[in-house]
Chain A
Amino acid sequence: QVQLQESGPGLVKPSETLVLTCTVSGGSISIYYWAWIRQSPGKGLEWIGNIYYSGSTNYNPSLRSRVTISVDTSKNQFSLKLSSVTAADTAVYYCARGSTIPHDIWGRGTLVTVSS
């Protein structure tokens, strides 16, 4: 059974870069695409972007200038980097899998707080 697990710091200082990793277990990262989604009380669910196992990416235009999603097939992981964070980036960050079925498997989510 495929499982996803987010990891990374729970606290990031303003103006710094948020880095999260999603580890895929129980299956291969190949064939599917992999997404990052966040949820904050003020903005609900926000799709950040996705990456295909080949490395092709799609980003939310509202975040594109600050976001990089990458994949490491050798480690069965994909990562999110979000630069120049502010308090508005405080949210629960989820990683999720997709194919012809969007977002059928999600990680548990990790809370990231932006604060000095």
Chain B
Amino acid sequence: DIQMTQSPSSLSVSVGDRVTITCRATLRIGTYLSWYQQKPGKAPNLLIYAASTLQSGVPSRFSGSGSGTDFTLTITSLQPEDVATYFCQQSYIVPWTFGQGTKVEIK
């Protein structure tokens, strides 16, 4: 299986700060990488697919980049409603696998 490793596991930031989350795959996956946001008690919500394509309806402060094994999710100016856990997922090889998650909190 392809292992997806996210860092950091958690971070505490101020409103308006820039947030960067990284995801590393154990095998090259091209751009078969998605990012999800999950709020407590809710299902994950797709933010980014194909590494850098913003899903319809997602605010433009979210962006994704990377290819191969290293990927980044960036929130340019954190808003209170962005408090959540963020997951990456590869869809290059079955079984599709997720990162362990990054919990974002407000300082």
Q: Which residues of A contact B (CB under 8 A)?
A: 44-47, 49, 58-62, 94, 101-104, 106-109
Contacts and interface: CB of A to CB of B under 8 A. Distances in A.
A56 B76 CA distance: 41
Contacts of A94: 43-44
Contact of A104 (B55, B87, B94): B55
Contacts of A101: 46, 49, 55
Nearest to A107: B43
Contacts, number: 50
Given A102-B34, A103-B34, A103-B89, A47 B43 contact: no
A102 B89 CA distance: 9
A11 B98 CA distance: 26
A103 B55 contact: no
A106 B95 contact: no
A47 B98 contact: yes
B89 A62 contact: no
Contacts of B46: 101-104
Interface in B40-99: 42-46, 49, 55, 87, 89, 91, 94-98
26 contacts: A44-B100, A45-B44, A45-B89, A47-B89, A47-B97, A47-B98, A58-B94, A59-B94, A60-B95, A61-B1, A61-B95, A62-B95, A94-B44, A101-B46, A101-B49, A101-B55, A102-B34, A102-B49, A103-B36, A103-B44, A104-B49, A106-B43, A106-B44, A106-B45, A108-B42, A108-B43
A62 B45 CA distance: 25
A1 B37 CA distance: 20
Contact of A45 (B42, B94, B98): B98
A101 B58 CA distance: 14
Contacts of B45: 106
